[in-house]
Amino acid sequence: MATLLALYMRLIVPRWQTWYAIPLRLIVGYGFMEHGYAKLARGPESFAAILHAIGTPAPALMAWATVVVELVGGFAVFIGAFVPIASVPMAVVLLVAILTVHVPYGFSSIKLLSVDANGAHFGQPGYETDLLYLAGLCALVLGGSGPLALDRLLRRRADRTQASNFVFPIVPRIPRTVSRR
């Protein structure tokens, strides 16, 4: 029991606490890029038709904006760059998806309708997955991008630049009087 407690104490040492961000960044970033790429591969016009059907204003513009947010924002989160800034439009995309598409289907993201010889058949997904993405973005904004993130590299560079540009106030030199005998 003491060995398990010692192992647990080593795992919760503060130096390891920021490493949670790496798998979170990878899955959230990749997930967004995958969704953006799927919309791009099928043609933004197809996604614009869906947006038009649900009554979105300027569906062509919104389709392209969504694709760009998902690809660029997903990549930024993936590499840990500008996460607090990139998270804002990403959260907007998620909230719009929840409110316009997923709410009528409830919370659960998996709705098993039937199973036959061809396999499982699923219904429309609810808003569970979108909430998980939002929670991941919030965790990254509040807790930071973690190690191996571009944000950390940029912060170090900025700190070095500020330190080298810092000018100490001029302190008048007081001449030392040395007696020579």
d(CA 155, CA 81): 11
Q: What is the pLDDT of residues 81-114, one digit of tens each?
A: 999 999 999 999 999 999 999 999 999 988 888 9
Predicted local distance difference test score (pLDDT) of residue 16: 74
Residue 167 has pLDDT above 60, yes or no: no
The string of pLDDT tens digits covering residues 109-133 is 888 889 999 999 998 889 999 999 9
CA 139 to chain centre: 8
Q: Write down the pLDDT at residue 169.
A: 56
Kind plus residue range of the DSSP H or E element containing 140: helix 128-143
Give me the phi and psi of 121, to 5 degrees please.
Answer: -120, 130
Q: Between 150 and 173, name the one with better pLDDT.
A: 150
Whether residue 146 is predicted with pLDDT greater than 80 in this model: the reply is yes
Q: What amino acid occupies position 60?
A: A
Residue 166 confidence class, pLDDT cut points 50, 70, 90: low
Residue 181 has pLDDT above 60, yes or no: no
Of 74, 73, 88, 78, nearest in space to 22 by CA: 78
Tokens of 14: 């503060």
Q: Name which of 98, 90, 95, 70 is nearest 140 in CA terms.
A: 90
Task: Look up the pTM and report it.
Answer: 0.78
The answer on pLDDT for 140 being more than 70 is: yes
